[in-house]
Amino acid sequence: MVKTRRRYVLPAFIAALALVLLLSLRPLATERSLAIWLILVAGLVLLTLARDVRARDATGRKRRFEAALRGRPPRSTVPVELLRVERELELGIGSAGHAHRRLLPLLRAAASARLATGHGIELVRSPERARALLGEDVWELLRPDRPAPADRHGPGIPRAAVAAAIAKVESL
């Protein structure tokens, strides 16, 4: 509070001192001295207001005008397809029905593509060779004739099993 008083008292004191000096100078007319003093007071008021605004802006508040100048924040740089796959993974881990209908076909398609391009094996036509390359645990998850879950509202596939299946498919 003392600082704010000093902020306003000091310019007022300077303005009063300037008025006394201007009036004591005899070559200047009184009207001209008052005009110069008024310009000086207006300048000091503007300087004080500018300091106040700068001090308030230092608090970090965003003003609507400045926010409008900056525009909208950039959209997410994560591809939409990656977001969709992440959502499928999370939903498949949480729900057995979703895992059977959405997640496992997605993983099965990825495994089928890797087997076909890397080894010339089709998942459906050569299940024995695909089973040998995938391993028992991953094969049980990805086999085309996997039965539907008894409780489709039950928990989905454990996260560790999904991670192991993805790692195995990536290693093909």
**DSSP, residue by residue, 127-148:** HHHHHHHH-HHHHHHH-TTPPP
Q: How many helical (H) and strand (E) elements, i.e. helices and strands, does the chain have?
A: 9, 0
pLDDT at 2: 56
Q: Measuring CA to CA, how many Å separate 57 from each of 3, 11, 76, 136?
A: 17, 22, 29, 64
CB 46 within 8 Å of CB 38 = no
- pTM for the full model? 0.54
Q: Measuring CA to CA, how many Å separate 14 from each of 19, 24, 140?
A: 9, 15, 88
What is the separation of C-alpha 1 from the centre of its chain, rounded to a whole number of angstroms? 39
Higher-confidence residue: 151 or 123? 151
> Domains of the chain: which residue ranges?
2-70, 80-171
SS3 of residue 123 by DSSP: coil
pLDDT in tens, 25-44: 767 777 887 888 788 888 88
Q: Measuring CA to CA, how many Å separate 69 from each of 54, 60, 92, 111?
A: 18, 16, 43, 49
The DSSP line for 48-85 is HHHHHHHHHHTT-PPPHHHHHHH-PPPPP-S-HHHHHH
pLDDT in tens, 54-73: 776 665 666 677 777 777 77
